[in-house]
Structure 1
Amino acid sequence: MPRTDKASRVVAAAPERVFAALLDPGALAAWLPPEGMAGRFERFDARPGGSYRLVLTYPDGWAASGKATADTDIVEARFLQIVPGVRVVQAVDFVSDDPAYAGTMTMTWEVARAEGGTRVEIRADDVPDGISAADHAAGLASSLANLAAHVER
């Protein structure tokens, strides 16, 4: 059954700085992986119609299991829309043999000036059934906290 998950946070940085961190592969690799994971891009082309392949790895002995391998999630994503300074929309697929992770999730990241900095909103539509709502909420919150730490330095 299709599900939508949302998260938001105000970060103490200018919208331009926050938006830039949504499209820079070095910045994304630093802040996007939720706590307890590391990420690296195998390819990255930030333009409408462009795509990326992100490999997320759990540390040794991590309690969770990966979607692609025992310790790895692989994300294939396409940029559907980039509105400079405002919004990035991506179609995201997990590489997995498990049908619970099948289907394309649409991730929308929006930034807007707010008191104290920039409000960042994430909306994930059509979240695969294999991703629990609680785990996804924790992951989104963790990524937002990482983003705040990254852009507030």
Structure 2
Amino acid sequence: MARTDRASRVIAAPPTTVYAALLDRAAVEAWLPPQGMRGRIAQWDPRPGGGFRMVLTHLDATGSPGKTSDATDVVEVGFAALEPPGGVVQRAVFEADDPAYAGTMTMTWQLAAVGAGTEVTVTATDVPPGIDPAVHEAGIASSLANLAAYLEAADRRG
């Protein structure tokens, strides 16, 4: 059965600023890796039909091994739709030998103006069964917290 995981957060930045951070290579490399990981983008093509390849490295792989190797998750992400400033739809495929991580997961980043900020809702559909639901939702929430911190720091640097 297909699974859906979701998380949302209000970020103190307008939708156009948040949208730009979803399509900027340096920004994505900085904020997307959840707590306990670092990321490196190996390829970048921010257009519909384009995408990126990201190597995520677990800072401590004990108890949470990677999908691609003991310490890494490699993911190919395609941009299925870019809807400025309303959101981005991505299709993510993990490199993994374990069939529990096989398949294409759709990540929808929906942006909605709220007051002086933006509510960012991330909905992951067709999540591979090998990804623990609680860990995945915590990871999405962590990436959203990183995005908020990244944009708020950029606003302070202004």
TM over 0.5: yes
Indicate whether 1:122 and 2:114 are aligned: no
Q: Cα offset for 1:59?
A: 1.4
Indicate whether 1:74 and 2:74 are aligned: yes
In 2, are the aligned partners of 1:105 and 1:128 still within 8 Å (CA)? yes
In 1, are the aligned partners of 2:36 and 2:60 still within 8 Å (CA)? no
SS in 2 for 1:152: helix
What are the Cα deviations for residues 97-152 of structure 1, in whole angstroms up to 9, with x where unaligned?
A: 00000010000001111024110010100000000110011101100100000111
Q: In 1, distance between residues paired with 2:104 and 2:146?
A: 25
Residues 144, 84 of structure 1: alpha-carbon distance in 2 compared, 3 angstrom cutoff: same
Q: In 2, distance between residues paired with 1:61 and 1:140?
A: 18
Residue equivalent to 2:26: 26
Code of the residue aligned with 1:111 in structure 2: it is L
Indicate whether 1:99 and 2:105 are aligned: no
In 1, are the aligned partners of 2:22 and 2:28 still within 8 Å (CA)? yes
Q: In 1, distance between residues paired with 2:46 and 2:61?
A: 34
What are the Cα deviations for residues 49-87 of structure 1, in whole angstroms up to 9, with x where unaligned?
A: 002110000114543100000000000111110011111
Runs of 4+ in structure 1 over 6 Å off: none
Residue equivalent to 1:131: 131
TM-score normalised by L of structure 1: 0.97
Residues 61, 102 of structure 1: alpha-carbon distance in 2 compared, 3 angstrom cutoff: closer
Residue equivalent to 1:3: 3
In 2, are the aligned partners of 1:10 and 1:116 still within 8 Å (CA)? no
Q: In 2, distance between residues paired with 1:120 and 1:99?
A: 31
User: What stretches of structure 2 of length at least 5 have no aligned partner?
Assistant: 154-158
What are the Cα deviations for residues 8-35 of structure 1, in whole angstroms up to 9, with x where unaligned?
A: 1001111111111101110001000000
Q: In 2, distance between residues paired with 1:2 and 1:40?
A: 29
Residue equivalent to 2:86: 86
Q: Which shifted more, 108-117 or 73-82? A: 108-117
Number of residue pairs the alignment of both structures matches: 153
In 1, are the aligned partners of 2:52 and 2:76 still within 8 Å (CA)? yes
Q: CA RMSD in A?
A: 1.0
In 2, are the aligned partners of 1:108 and 1:123 still within 8 Å (CA)? yes
